[in-house]
């Protein structure tokens, strides 16, 4: 089943995010290589694909996991959690209606 994982960014975590980003992307690439990643990306703090100094308010991942508990466990191991970039995460089942 698909699950939506949304991480909410801790204000002032820009430097920690930059340090943890390569490891964060490595995990997403592994999901992609396994054919389990539907979509992933950051949530800009302003209405722009490049928010500049405004930064990001979070990130969104939609991927396939065997269960809600497996998706939650995977999310808890994210480098952004470990580096205190995300102050909170939300994991919910997701049904893709389109496309």
- Given a cut of 50, the residues of the chain with pLDDT beneath it are none
Query: pTM of the full predicted structure?
Result: 0.94
Provide the pLDDT for residue 82: 93
Find the Cα–Cα–Cα–Cα dihedral 71, 60, 15, 32, rounded to 10°.
70
Provide the pLDDT for residue 9: 95
- Whole-number Å distance between alpha carbons of 33 and 29: 6
Provide the pLDDT for residue 46: 96
- Whole-number Å distance between alpha carbons of 76 and 67: 14
- Whole-number Å distance between alpha carbons of 37 and 40: 8
Provide the pLDDT for residue 30: 98
Residue 99, preceding peptide bond in cis (omega within 30° of 0): yes
Provide the pLDDT for residue 16: 95
């Amino acid at each position: 089943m698909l699950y939506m994982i949304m991480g909410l960014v801790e204000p002032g975590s820009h430097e920690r995010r930059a340090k943890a980003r390569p490891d964060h992307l490595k995990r997403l690439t592994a999901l992609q290589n396994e054919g389990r990643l539907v979509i992933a990306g950051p949530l800009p703090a302003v209405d722009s694909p490049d928010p500049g100094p405004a930064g990001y308010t979070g990130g969104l991942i939609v991927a396939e996991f065997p269960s809600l508990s497996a998706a939650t466990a995977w999310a808890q191991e994210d480098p952004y959690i470990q580096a205190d970039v995300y102050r909170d995460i939300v994991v919910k089942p997701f049904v893709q209606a389109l496309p």
